[in-house]
């Protein structure tokens, strides 16, 4: 009966689970030995999960700009490392004291965990659980200070508590959300990062009201998810801003009412947006990760009650200088990590909403590739040819 209900999950469960529990698994992983090098497909050993940890068989993983930021050095991480943080899979085995997950469960790993005990988790206002490994000095290790990956006798680091460019990974129980076992894992993996980050920035962080005017700077996978969030919120104007006009057709398809290219104007883009809207937009979103566009987005929103949200990961070691009058007059400048969602609670609901067709993910997925073509997937990202590539394992 259960097999009929959730064929996808049970197939993997039957095949892999019983045979591997408590044992080291040898499997394929994409190891990044050092910055600015291609990923190297290696056989790695994945240790069994310790107490409060789970081992996941990854089924699909998206390629996100943040992964590439580690390759280029823009996001500093310890090497060697197994990257990847936007994935979906099936629990292969669980360590002692794990209560919320069991073998066979379909899950999405969470790069922002939800321990349920820290101040952010306990506050209704927060979501950046203290157990995250996103700080400016990330450890690349599990909570006990060790790693579960080895390759050629060397310890390999974890990435933001997830590491999904591997057939098997180990994460903390608080860093995996159980989802509907009928969900297509090669689509809902995007809920692990890009989609939720953009959509939540609108609905959860900014809490855009119906009838609002919005500007979205940057139309990659995350920016397009912001556009979708603005549409879902009932925004009356959604002005999409990008220097690549090839992004405009999809932005319009997903809800943008106007698209503008800063290169087409002599005056600064915040002046253009202020003129277009009278006194600036109600909400602006920076989804590029550049300090110039962060201040431009701030200046584009209403001088008294405008809200500007930084979604793009700021470049390492760069500082912003700006006229404090922009804030003094009343604007609010906010940041949003993982769309402000409390991850373990929100991800199953987002998957359920996807299953109810409340939003789409297909337009964001331009390429689906076998895992072994990971380097090709990154080339597609770097040349601007893809929005999201999903690697299937």
Q: Mind telling me the catalytic residues?
A: 64, 66, 69, 85, 193
**C-beta closer to ligand COD: residue 194 or 229:** 194
**C-beta closer to ligand COD: residue 99 or 136:** 136
The distance of closest approach from Cβ of residue 382 to ligand COD in the complex, given in angstroms and rounded to an integer, is 9
Cα–Cα dist 227/224, whole Å: 5
The distance of closest approach from Cβ of residue 357 to ligand COD in the complex, given in angstroms and rounded to an integer, is 23
The distance of closest approach from Cβ of residue 368 to ligand COD in the complex, given in angstroms and rounded to an integer, is 17
Going by DSSP bridges, is the β-strand pair 25-31/40-46 parallel, antiparallel, or unpaired?
antiparallel
> Which partner from the list ligand COD, Zn ion, none does 256 bind, CB cut-off 5 to 8 Å by kind?
none
> Which partner from the list ligand COD, Zn ion, none does 302 bind, CB cut-off 5 to 8 Å by kind?
none
Determine if 189 is a binding residue for Zn ion (CB under 5 A).
no
Binding region for ligand COD (CB under 6 A) out of 48-56, 181-189, 242-250, 298-306 = 242-250
Which residues contact residue 219 at a Cβ distance below 8 angstroms, ignoring those fewer than 6 apart? Answer: 227, 240, 241, 242, 244, 247, 248, 250, 251, 287
Binding residues for Zn ion restricted to 48-107, rule: CB under 5 A: 64, 66
Phi, psi of 205 (to 5 degrees): -80, -55
Determine if 291 is a binding residue for ligand COD (CB under 6 A).
no
Tell me the H-state helices in the chain.
2-5, 7-20, 65-72, 119-122, 185-188, 194-200, 221-233, 248-254, 269-277, 291-300, 325-328, 343-355, 374-382
The distance of closest approach from Cβ of residue 8 to ligand COD in the complex, given in angstroms and rounded to an integer, is 27
* Structural tokens at position 379: 């080339």
Determine if 157 is a binding residue for ligand COD (CB under 6 A).
no
Binding region for ligand COD (CB under 6 A) out of 47-55, 135-143, 202-210, 238-246 = 238-246
The distance of closest approach from Cβ of residue 182 to ligand COD in the complex, given in angstroms and rounded to an integer, is 27
Determine if 336 is a binding residue for Zn ion (CB under 5 A).
no
Helix, strand counts (H, E) of the chain: 13, 17
Q: Which listed residue (62, 84, 89, 289) binds ligand COD by CB under 6 A? A: 289
DSSP assignment of 54-106, as one string? EEEEEEEEE--HHHHHHHHTSS---SSB----EEEEEEEEE-TT--S--TT-E
Cα–Cα dist 17/180, whole Å: 19
Cα–Cα dist 131/36, whole Å: 28
Dihedral (CA of 199, 202, 205, 207) sign: negative
Binding residues for ligand COD restricted to 174-213, rule: CB under 6 A: 193-194, 197
**C-beta closer to Zn ion: residue 202 or 281:** 202
Residues that bind ligand COD (CB under 6 A): 64-66, 85, 111, 134, 160, 193-194, 197, 217-223, 241-244, 247, 262, 287-290, 293, 311-313, 337
């Amino acid at each position: 009966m259960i097999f009929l209900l959730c064929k996808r999950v049970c197939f993997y469960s039957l095949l892999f689970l019983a045979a591997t529990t408590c044992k080291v698994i040898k499997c394929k992983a994409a190891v990044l030995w050092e910055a600015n090098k291609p990923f190297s497909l290696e056989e790695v050993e994945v240790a069994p999960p310790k107490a409060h940890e789970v081992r996941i068989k990854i089924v699909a993983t998206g390629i996100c700009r943040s992964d590439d930021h580690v390759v280029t050095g823009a996001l500093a991480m310890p090497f060697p490392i197994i990257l990847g943080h936007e994935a979906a899979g099936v629990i292969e085995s669980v360590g002692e004291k794990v209560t919320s997950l069991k073998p066979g469960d379909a899950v999405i790993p969470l790069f922002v965990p939800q321990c349920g005990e820290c101040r952010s988790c306990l506050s209704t206002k927060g979501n950046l659980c203290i157990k995250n490994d996103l700080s400016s000095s990330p450890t690349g290790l599990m909570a006990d200070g060790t790693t579960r990956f080895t390759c050629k006798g060397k310890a390999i680091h974890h990435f933001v508590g997830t590491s999904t460019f591997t057939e098997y990974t180990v994460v903390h129980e608080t860093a995996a959300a159980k989802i509907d076992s009928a969900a297509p894992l090669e689509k809902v993996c995007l809920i692990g990062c890009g989609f939720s980050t953009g959509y939540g920035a609108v609905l959860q962080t900014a809490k855009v009201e119906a009838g609002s005017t919005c500007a979205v700077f940057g139309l990659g996978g995350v920016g397009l998810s912001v556009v979708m969030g603005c549409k879902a919120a009932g925004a009356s104007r959604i002005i999409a801003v990008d220097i690549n006009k090839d992004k405009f057709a999809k932005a319009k398809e997903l809800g943008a009412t106007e698209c503008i290219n800063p290169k087409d104007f002599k005056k600064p883009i915040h002046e253009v947006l202020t003129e277009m809207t009278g006194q600036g937009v109600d909400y602006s979103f920076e989804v590029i990760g550049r300090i110039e566009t962060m201040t431009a987005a701030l200046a584009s929103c209403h001088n008294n009650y405008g809200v500007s949200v930084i979604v793009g990961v700021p470049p390492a070691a760069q500082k912003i200088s700006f006229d404090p009058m922009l804030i003094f007059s009343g604007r609010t400048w906010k940041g949003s990590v993982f769309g402000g969602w409390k991850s373990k609670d929100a991800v199953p609901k987002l998957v359920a909403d996807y299953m109810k067709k409340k939003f789409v993910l297909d337009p964001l997925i331009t390429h689906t590739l076998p895992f072994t073509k990971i380097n090709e997937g990154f080339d597609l990202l770097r040349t601007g040819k893809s929005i999201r590539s999903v690697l299937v394992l």
